[in-house]
Amino acid sequence: MNNNAEADTVLTGLLDILETEHEALKAGAAGKASGLLQPKMEAMNAFDELMADPAQLRGVPDVKSRMERIVRLATENAELFSAVRNGVGQAVSRIGGATSNAYVGAYTSAGGKTAFSKAAGGYAKKA
């Protein structure tokens, strides 16, 4: 394979992975996006090798627009991953803040709240 074909393959592969990752993140499928980590790292390593000798990019079709798309997608994906991280962090904080004394919509005859741990079973039906 000649240098142009190799460079084209590297750019296309990285773009495909970044676009798939972008769509997964926008759809809220963070698990699918994180599953792309290994192929993404391999594509990034190939891209780094390509950038070590930029002369290989001469003659590759649409190289400028493809490079701009790679930079834009990588930036947007990083921002989306940050949003996911913040969302997960907030969810963990909320769950961690829940107490073991959580209440359900059940009340005692005196009007007091019934703790969740005591809410299961034991209620007598009054006539």
pLDDT at 12 over 90: yes
Instruction: State whether the Cα torsion 44-49-50-51 is positive or negative.
Output: positive
Q: Of 27-31, 37-41, 122-126, which gets the smallest average pLDDT?
A: 122-126
CB 76 within 8 A of CB 22: yes
Q: What is the pLDDT of residues 80-102, one digit of tens each?
A: 999 988 988 888 887 776 655 55
Integer Rg of the chain from CA = 27
Question: Domains of the chain: which residue ranges?
Answer: 3-97
CA distance 112 to 118: 13
Q: What is the pLDDT of residues 44-74, one digit of tens each?
A: 999 999 999 888 888 888 999 999 999 999 9
Q: What is the pLDDT of residue 114?
A: 65
Q: What is the pLDDT of residue 99?
A: 58
Token pair for 62: 């649409």
Give backbone dihedrals phi and psi of 113, rounded to 5 degrees, phi first: -75, 145
Q: What is the pLDDT of residues 97-127, one digit of tens each?
A: 665 555 556 677 777 776 655 545 555 556 5
